[in-house]
Amino acid sequence: MLTLLAVFAVASLLLPLLVSWIGARAFAVAALVPAAAFVHLVVLTPQVLAGSADPAFVPRESIDWIPQLGLSLSFRLDELSWLLALIVTGVGALVLLYCRWYFRGSKEGIGQFAAVLLAFAGAMYGLVTTDDLVLLVMFWELTSILSYLLIGHYHRRGASRRAALQALLVTTLGGLAMFIGVVFLAVDAGTSSMSRILASAPTGPLVDAAIVLLLVGALSKSAIFPFHFWLPGAMAAPTPVSAYLHAAAMVKAGIYLIARFAPVFALSGPWRPITIALGVFTMLLGGVQALRETDLKRILAFGTVSQLGFFTVVLGYGTPDAMLAGLALVISHALFKSSLFLIVGVIDRQLSTRDVTEISGVGRRAPLLAISGFIAVGSMMGIPPTIGFAAKESTLAALFDESQRGSPWGIVALVGVILGSILTAAYGARFLWGAFWRKKDAAGAFMPDTEWPSPPFGFLVSPVILAFGTLVLGPLASAVTVVLYGYADDATAPGYDGSPLEPGYLALWHGLAPALFLSLGAVLLGLVLFPLTRRLGWDRRPRLLPFTAQDAYYLAMRSVDRLSVFTTSLTQRGSLPVYVGTIFVVVIAAEATALIAGGPANAQLSAWHTPVQLVVAPIMIFAGLLAIRARKRYTGVVLVSVTGLGMVVLFGTSGAPDLALTQILVETVTLVTFALVLRRLPARMGEHNASVGRVPRAILGIAAGVMMALLAIVATGSRVADPISEAFPKLAYELGHGKNVVNVALVDLRGWDTMGELSVLVLAATGVASLVFVTHRADRLSATRALPEGPRQSRRRPLVETTEGVRVQTAGDTAPRAWLVAGGNVKPENRSILLEVIVRILFHTIIVVSIYLLFAGHNAPGGGFAGGLVAGMALVMRYIAGGRWELGAAAPTDAGRLLGAGLILAVGSAVVPLFFGLAPLSSAVWEAEIPVVGHIEFVSSTFFDIGVYLVVIGLVLDVLRSLGAEVDRQTLEMRARGVDI
């Protein structure tokens, strides 16, 4: 199972490249991954069935993840997980195959779509097979994010973006509530393993609260009232997404959770009132609305809402016979509803419409498609000999028996299911009429048949297989009972007093039982209801209720927007000193409270540790005082940098060369960044806005300084235990195989901290660039393209500034090839030929030094961070010497690619050990004796350090591109328009 998850992940990453090569045909290749998982599940069937009798035979895999918290990457295939995994992989393979024809001729975005859809299939596979609740929550949220991307595939359409955001917010809100419930349940049970929790069957108020929160997550994911409104809106997605996510996979996640916990918690206080009441109401609400829709997809969407309410009632009831019938309903629904969505996709792709008023006589033009549609709708209605009939009759029999025992909730469930079945038959008939029937116009005459361009046969394969699957499984209903019997028979919640489940419960014929008459009666009444609603003009009426759940959602969103605007208007006054002052006031108040409450401090102070401190410290203090008195911004920045350079000396003389090297590089890059920003600000402070409130500022500054000094003094005597860092030298050598303790700690011993810092750097770079690149993030500096073959010295040609940006000078250009790219683009008075030549000569040497620092950092001063800063300084020199033209020639790539590649490399270094049964970020070492060179060692954490190296270079490059090159370009444009800046 873990291997299959890895295959899903790797295939998703490679799929965009495959799509770029062979186009939509790559979907057929992608379908092989879930197909292989489906075959694997089929092979495991005997072991899964044996596990129902003896849990020791249940297929399981587990790798310790966070042993301190008792968390593990554990997966388990009992009958319920096996069934849902079969649905996820089987339907997923057919949907991906269907996409091969659905997206034929399409180019924009299908690579990303294919990757996300396959990744979603992998996430759903993990969700239904994991045995750990925390891991389930992670897969749960991953499916929400991936569904957001799939629903919003047509991102240029406002409706798609709104629908995607709505689905994400609703399901994520439910997932957050569910996560709280998971924490409650895991704490109470002492484990996050679902199998152990269900085996112990915990009870109590905390468990009841946890169950309610779990149900909130399940109901939001499965579109149960009041969360139902997101599902019809999600029909803005491509039809394969609707068929897979909203019929067979994602919406089944909540149903799966209910089915998983119902055997134990069905008789707990809040369970049945929530599942049955909301399930019945959702079933009726969705059925009524489906009768009023004219869009074929929206008919199916509201029908899906109704069916999900149906499953919630039946599976939520929790008795063995209801559980068996409910699982049969899940099977039938996955087959017939995904088939119907795919049929609608064929109609939409061929006719460019889904409006039932514009389609007429398609059934006669497309008989195979129509037959498949009739079979699928017949299974949805519950007409023999489909599996839908066997499942619905078994459901009615189970609920009828419960009502006969006098169960109030059994009566409510039975009445609700009968009424819902009537509506199901009615909107099923409406779908068939809308998709395939000949229709009459306003005058009562038959409309001409709609022209039907015959689709490729492969386009029909998936919907036909799914539709006929419901027909094949009908006569095999007894075999389905055998497969699901073990799980359903265990569905005996504590206190359940019903009769045991009888083998062969699912069948096409149980005799003339009450359930048969109830089932057929519901179908007949539904077939009568449909023409009655059309005669009464039900589908042409305006909205039934003045206020709906959709309105409540938009009201809540508008309220949040208005509250945020109001809060921002109070707190964000546009004054940077006010913001900084507020932070200082909070820090002073909080720390002063802690110092006063902490009692007397046991301070241990020394006047100095080395004589160098007696020289450096006064210089730093004097520079700080001069910075206060500075009237020019750049002067103030330089004086502040003196304190940073003083720290370099202190680090260097205190036995910390790594810190000294990093500090001087950071200080230099920071100074350059300040200089880039200060170009657009007045040279003198207070030139436009004079400083006010000098006395309060002075008091606040002195208080902040005194408070930080007191904290430093108190901290020296606050340690009560030996620091863990004392063990770092030994750990660095034995575990990290390195002598540089600082570098090994960053990439190995405390790699998680470094990974978090890398994420912050990526966000910082993105944020800075987003403030400058207002309308786009197009990289106008990395436009280097491949040139025709020629002499080595002419293969790389300089960039030439044009009105459209930057391009590559080609062989046909009349301008001579220049070694210094800035020539002719920078004004003579702004150029320094000597500086350009020196920088051009030293650039490659500095890059080599940065690479040396990268690889030497494991045993000597250096590392990825220092090496990246050195490479960044080389780029800074190129920009300073020749402007944005030299920068574009020096870094012919996009900064975002470097940031992304570095982060992926770092994350990959953390994840790869998991596939070998090791903890994340575990290091491996390779040693060898090489002639002449001698003994060498290579540690896998070097790859992590390379990721750090790339992220740092990407950060510096993004800052130079945005605050440097882009600001230069905007300045030139404004001057060309006559704007005085």
Segment (H or E) for 63: strand 60-66
Under 8 Å between Cβ of 878 and 930: no
Name the least confident of 176-180, 412-416, 437-441, 977-981: 977-981
With H, G, I as helix, E, B as strand and everything else as coil, classify residue 929: strand
Pairing of strands 934-939, 925-930: antiparallel
Q: Determine phi and psi for 64, rounding to 5 degrees.
A: -60, 135
| Mean pLDDT value across residues 734-739 | 79
The sign one gets for the Cα dihedral 754, 760, 763, 764 is: negative
Residue 785 has pLDDT above 60, yes or no: no
Q: Measure Cα distances from 920 to 355, 754, 759, 906 in Å.
A: 53, 14, 17, 11
Q: Give the confidence band of 813 by pLDDT, cuts at 50, 70, 90.
A: very low
Mean pLDDT of 797-826: 50
Is the separation of the CB atoms in 297 and 344 below 8 Å?
yes
Q: pLDDT class for 806, splitting at 50, 70, 90?
A: very low
Lowest mean pLDDT among 455-469, 778-792, 892-906: 778-792
pLDDT score at 633: 84
**Which tens digit of pLDDT belongs to each residue from 576-632?**
788 888 889 999 999 888 888 876 767 777 778 888 888 999 999 999 888 888 888
What are the residues whose beta carbons fall under 8 Å from the beta carbon of 472, sequence distance 6 or more? none
Contact 918, 927 (CB under 8 A): no
Backbone angles phi, psi at 936, to 5 degrees: -130, 155
Residue 545, token pair as written in the block: 């209720």
H or E element in which residue 925 lies: strand 925-930
Q: Which of 269, 263, 255, 169 is nearest to 215 (CA)?
A: 255
| pLDDT given at position 264 | 87
Quickly count: other Cβ atoms within 10 Å of residue 208's Cβ: 16
Residues whose CB is less than 8 angstroms from the CB of residue 93 and which lie 6 or more positions away in sequence, other chains included: 31, 32, 34, 35, 38
Torsion 40-42-43-47 (CA) sign: positive
| Rounded Cα distance, 483 and 440, in Å | 48
Q: Are 327 and 487 in contact (CB under 8 A)?
A: yes
Residue 915 corresponds to which tokens in the numbers above? 């596939």
pLDDT band at 822 (very low <50, low <70, confident <90, very high): low
Amino acid at 27: F
Q: How confident is the model at residue 814 (pLDDT cuts 50, 70, 90)?
A: very low
pLDDT at 423: 95
Among 663-677, 682-696, 762-776, 795-809, whose mean pLDDT is lowest? 795-809
Contacts of 116 (CB under 8 A, 6+ apart): 12, 146, 149, 150
Residue 201 and residue 494 in contact, taking contact as beta carbons nearer than 8 Å: yes
pLDDT band at 692 (very low <50, low <70, confident <90, very high): low
CA 377 to chain centre: 34
pLDDT score of 624: 87
Give the pLDDT mean for 821-833.
67
Q: Which residue has the tokens 């699928």?
A: 376
**Distance (Å, rounded) from C-alpha 97 to C-alpha 456?**
13
- Burial label, 329 (beta-carbon count in 10 A; 0-12, 13-18, 19+): buried
Instruction: At 43, list the tokens.
Output: 């092979």
Give the pLDDT confidence score for residue 981 in this predicted structure: 57
Mean pLDDT of the 314-341 span: 91
Residue 169 vs residue 938, higher pLDDT: 169
Q: What is the CA radius of gyration of the chain?
A: 34
What separation, in Å, do the N-terminal and C-terminal C-alpha atoms of the chain show?
Answer: 62
Helix (H) or strand (E) holding 957: helix 941-959
Q: What does the DSSP assignment read for 260-310? A: HHHHHHTTSTTHHHHHHHHHHHHHHHHHHHHTT--BHHHHHHHHHHHHHHH
What confidence tier does 428 reach under pLDDT thresholds 50, 70, 90? very high
Q: How far apart are CA 612 and CA 684, in angstroms?
A: 35
Per-residue pLDDT, 921:
78
Identify the band that residue 825 occupies on the pLDDT scale cut at 50, 70 and 90.
Answer: low
Instruction: Give yes or no for residue 646 having a pLDDT over 70.
Output: yes
Q: What is the pLDDT of residue 630?
A: 85
- How many alpha carbons lie under 13 Å from residue 428 in its C-beta half-sphere? 28
Q: What is the pLDDT of residue 733?
A: 80
DSSP string, 174-221: HHHHHHHHHHHHHHHHT--BHHHHHHH---SHHHHHHHHHHHHHHHHH
For residue 314, the model assigns a pLDDT of: 94
Alpha carbons within 13 A on the beta-carbon side of 175: 22
- Could you give the CA distance from residue 637 to residue 698 in angstroms, rounded to a whole number? 19
List residues bridging with 937 in a β-sheet: 927
Q: Band of the pLDDT at 157, cuts 50, 70, 90?
A: confident
Segment 911-946, tens digit of pLDDT: 888 777 677 778 888 888 888 777 788 888 888 889
- Listed ranges 332-336, 543-547, 880-884; the one with the highest mean pLDDT: 332-336
The angle, 0 to 180 degrees and rounded to 10, between the axes of the packed helices 79-102 and 457-473 is 160
CA distance 706 to 788: 66
Mean pLDDT, residues 394-418 taken together: 91
Indicate if the pLDDT at residue 777 is higher than 80.
Answer: no
CA triplet 268, 272, 278: central angle to 5 degrees?
145
Per the model's pLDDT, the better-predicted residue between 510 and 347 turns out to be 347
CA 862/CA 852 separation, integer angstroms: 8
Name every residue whose Cβ is closer than 8 Å to that of residue 158 and which is 6 or more positions away in sequence.
none
CA dihedral 279, 281, 284, 285 (to 10 degrees): -110
CB distance 124 to 249 below 8 Å: yes
> Residue 169 corresponds to which tokens in the numbers above?
């917010």
Q: Residue 337's closest CA among 305, 286, 294, 380? A: 380
DSSP 248: I
Share of the chain above pLDDT 70, in %: 90
pLDDT computed for residue 675 by the predictor: 84
Is residue 61 a contact partner of residue 130, using CB atoms and an 8 Å limit?
no
Nearest CA to 510 out of 473, 478, 558, 541 is that of 478
pLDDT at 797 over 50: no
Angle between helices 477-489 and 45-53 (to 10 degrees): 40
* Higher pLDDT pick, 499 / 961: 961
Question: What average pLDDT does range 726-734 have in this prediction?
Answer: 81
- Express each pLDDT in 67-124 by its tens digit: 777 778 889 998 899 999 999 999 999 999 999 999 988 777 888 999 999 999 999 9
58: left (phi over 0), alpha (psi -120 to 50) or beta: beta
Q: In the prediction, which pLDDT does 581 show?
A: 87
Contacts of 919 (CB under 8 A, 6+ apart): 64, 913
The DSSP 8-state label assigned to residue 449 in this structure reads: P
Q: What is the DSSP letter of 966?
A: I
Identify whether the C-beta of residue 912 lies closer than 8 Å to the C-beta of residue 943. no
CA distance 681 to 636: 14
pLDDT of residue 779: 54
Identify each DSSP E strand in 775-924 by its residue range: 799-802, 805-808
For 945, the token pair is 């350090």
Q: Could you tell me if 485 and 501 are in contact, meaning their C-beta atoms sit under 8 angstroms apart?
A: yes
pLDDT of residue 530: 92
Over residues 138-142, the mean pLDDT reads: 94
Start-end of H helices in 736-798: 741-744, 751-772
- 284-295 mean pLDDT: 92
**Which neighbouring-strand residues pair with 60?**
76
CA distances from 771 to 577, 603, 863, 896, 965 (A): 20, 46, 31, 15, 14
Among 510-514, 601-605, 756-760, 925-929, the least confident range: 601-605
Residue 666 has pLDDT above 70, yes or no: yes
pLDDT digits (tens, 9 = 90+) for 529-569: 999 988 887 777 766 677 788 888 889 999 999 999 998 88
The whole-chain average pLDDT of the chain stands at 84
Range with the poorest average pLDDT among 141-145, 187-191, 685-689, 844-848: 685-689
CA distances from 19 to 15, 89, 103, 107, 346 (A): 6, 21, 11, 9, 22
pLDDT at 809 over 50: no
Q: CB under 8 Å, gap of 24 or more: what pairs does 685-694 form?
A: 685/630, 685/631, 685/632, 685/633, 685/636, 686/631
How many residues in the chain?
981
Residue 784: predicted pLDDT: 36
As a whole number of angstroms, the distance between CA 755 and CA 753 comes to: 5
Q: What is residue 375's predicted lDDT score, i.e. its pLDDT?
A: 95
How many Cα atoms are found within 13 Å in the side-chain-facing hemisphere of 256? 30
User: Do residues 455 and 101 make contact, with C-beta atoms less than 8 angstroms apart?
Assistant: yes
